[in-house]
Structure 1
Amino acid sequence: MSECHPDFSVFPPVESALTEPNGLLAQGGDLSVEWLLDAYCHGIFPWFNPGEPILWWSPDPRMVLLPADIRVTRSLAKRMRNGGFELRVDSAFADVMRACGAPREGAAGTWISEAMVAAYGRLFDAGYAHSVEIWHDGQLVGGLYGVAIGRMFYGESMFSRVPDASKIALVRLAQQLQQWEFGMIDCQMETSHLSSMGARTLPRAAFVARLAELVNLPHRPGPWTFDVPD
């Protein structure tokens, strides 16, 4: 399958997205592999609550993390060395998605419905979606999932059941992607947590221009195996 068609898309140009709410571009369509790949190739992602129409977004500015910019504090590095954690990749994709969608303190509901789990499961089966998992004593305690096309990674969500587990997953992902010469990790919306890890904002135009280069580099299909040292 050819991942990206830069001159064709079922979506409107991202420049036509609303400023309020920031980035709302379109509604409708479906969550097929073809629609999702078309969206990601053009800097667009789905985000909607169960029972709502499918909503597609391309916010401005865009939060991104360059793999080489990942920030590891001394305390986090010590926890990575001594915490007894085990890293696995692409071994429990659906479990990671459901953990990301589990109820959180102070949050009402989740956008990660079973329909989303099924849709991204199809992307996983097609070699585009990935999970980075942190295990401790045989239990899944943290991780993240996202989509990779070419040399571009799109982070979708992360979770922790013990302190720092999602941070460790992000650090290990960034270290591996740097070795594989990936150019960016899309973090979608700005948060102080991601800023503390080294992420920054880019104007949407700059993000889309860089994205167009990265998605057309050779694709690394899943399932992945990480080979950077712990």
Structure 2
Amino acid sequence: MKQVLLIAVWLLAGSGAMAQINLNKVKQAIGTGSTSQLSTDEVAEGLKQALTTGATKGTDMVSQVDGYLKNPAIMIPFPPEIKRVEDRLRQIGMGGEVDKFVVALNRAAEDAAQEAKPIFVSAIKQMTIQDAWSILKGQDDAATVYLNRTTSAQLNEKFKPIIQSSLSKVNATEYYTNLITAYNKLPLVQKVNPNLDEYATGKAIDGLFVMVANEEKNIRQNPGARSTALLQKVFSAQK
């Protein structure tokens, strides 16, 4: 069990000189009996708690009103690949309509984000001991990368119909159709008709993972963000 503890703390601490310093401290603590044992099961469960906490907080934040719209890091803009459309429409006095569309686009993402939590929780429950060690050895966003890898396809499948429904509910589809129709009627312009549903779905999922990554980093670096005794026990071994 002492060997398990030493390995766990080394992995949590990282590599290099700092890891060696931390390892020496743990060896001394074990010799004096002043540290509690940290099992592989505790490490895995601690990671699951951290993932659940980060995913829940991240999802809750983006699913609120203005969760996307008022967050510069994840706000969904007018599709950049047709920026010329936005610029031309603003030039002819349709800036207000463009703004309404952008608001509606972000409202749709906020609406869809509520469905992410159960998908994340399901993926977290299936996390193996090997997954946990890989996350502990990884970067500050290693857990988010794991979630991205294991849930993206399901999120896309779940988000797309919700985005479609939400876009219609908040009139984004109507705004978009009107904007593109108005643009395509202008003389000497190249006609456009990009897929709004795919764009909105992709950006909504990207923004969700940005927020989950922020929460993961916070848990790793900020002791105050560790909301359970097990989280505190597992991540305090990094020091």
TM-score if structure 1 supplies the norm length? 0.23
User: Which structure ranks higher in relative contact order (CA pairs < 8 Å, sequence separation ≥ 6)?
Assistant: 2
Q: Decide which structure has greater helix share.
A: 2
Q: Decide which structure has greater strand share.
A: 1
Structure with larger Rg: 2
